[in-house]
Structure 1
Amino acid sequence: MKRLLAFSLLLLFSVACSPADQQGYRLVYVQDGDSAVLCCEKGKKFTVRLLDIDAPEKNQPYAEQSKAMLKQFLEDEQLYLVGSQYDRYGRRLAVIEVNGVSINDKMVERGAAWVWKYSKSRRMKALQEEAKEAREGLWALPESQRQNPWEWRQSHPRK
């Protein structure tokens, strides 16, 4: 009886969170404007850090709007990942695509994130300049409220 119960639970779990294949991944939840937890890789949830972008930190102006926008882009969609590197925190670094469209690009294009300071992507930098000129998203904030997340983290260290 215990084996049957264990097998049933294993089967239920594998159906609820099976490894991605041609169907892609699905959103579990959004942590902030540049990272999300997806399902599933080897049957487990995992965190993805969107490559080449840096979104406002919690308690930084525009953080909640950025998080909400990422959720809107990812919710109820089949998600595909491009990139297989991991950062020092064990997060997968990737471009998330929905229907062949880069969500990373869309976040910058809509002014919901900055291009990461070490990015070499000219395309992303051009998207950011366009968003700035159009005063999209965080670029509509007064300049005194816009601070690069990497600078904000230095002046607001975690405790």
Structure 2
Amino acid sequence: MAKNCIGLMLLVIMLSTPSWAWEARVVGVTDGDTVTVETHDGQRTRIRLWGIDAPERDQPGGEPARIHCEAIALWQTVDVQEVARDKYARLLAVLVRPGQNVRSDWSINGNMVRMGHAWAYGAKRWKGSEERARREHRGLWWQEAPVPPWKWRRGGHDRQD
């Protein structure tokens, strides 16, 4: 019975950790939710930050979002914790400090939302951070009615979420 419990506990631990996590250095920031990382062997990968959506560069709040992402991520060593690929085959990942778990409070993704430079998009874990940033008028929330990027991309520049 004890062996079965230990085996079950190990299985639960293995299943709760990300299946693909690897260390890299952020070497480029495209915008508030897209970065390029480089591994120790020089391979570069473009990553879309999972669970957030930052303003487009040509939209109000877009350039400050890119600048903030650059400030917190560029040249940092991170663990890339793969989540999925989107419909365009882009790698979606959470970037955390080396050794931290994907559920950690610290991530580039979560920081972007906490500081008001991105919407929590598909990630419930950062909804409270988004609401607080809104209340405190941080980042893009200085605007009276910021347009969500998914509407901006469709040309819906006149409606808030």
Q: CA deviation at 1:87?
A: 1.7
Question: Is the partner of 1:138 in helix, strand or coil?
Answer: helix
Q: Tell whether 2:152 aligns with 1:152.
A: yes
How does the TM-score come out when normalised to structure 1?
A: 0.74
Name stretches of at least 5 consecutive residues in structure 1 with no aligned partner.
Answer: 1-20
2-structure distance, mates of 1:28, 1:75: 6
TM-fit CA distance, 1:103? 1.1
Residue in 1 that maps onto 2:113: 108
Once residues 43 and 88 of structure 1 are traced to their aligned partners in structure 2, the CA distance between those partners, rounded to angstroms, is 26
CA distance change for structure 1 residues 90 and 41 in 2, over 3 Å: closer, same or farther?
Answer: farther
Identical-residue share of aligned pairs (%): 32
Distance change in 2, residues 1:48/1:41 (3 Å): farther
Distance across 2 between alignment mates of 1:49 and 1:130: 24
State the partner residue of 1:18: none
Q: Is residue 2:135 matched to residue 1:130?
A: no
Over aligned residues, Cα RMSD in angstroms? 2.1
Instruction: Give unmatched runs, 5+ long, in structure 2.
Output: 1-20, 101-105, 157-161
Report the CA distance shift for 1:90/1:44 in structure 2 as closer, same or farther (over 3 A): farther
Counterpart amino acid of 2:67? A
Deviation by residue 1:59-99 (Cα, 9 ceiling, x = unmatched): 10011100011111112311111224212333211111135
Deviation (angstroms), 1:40:
2.6
Structure with the bigger percentage of helix = 1
TM-score, normalized by length of structure 2?
0.73
Give the aligned length. 130
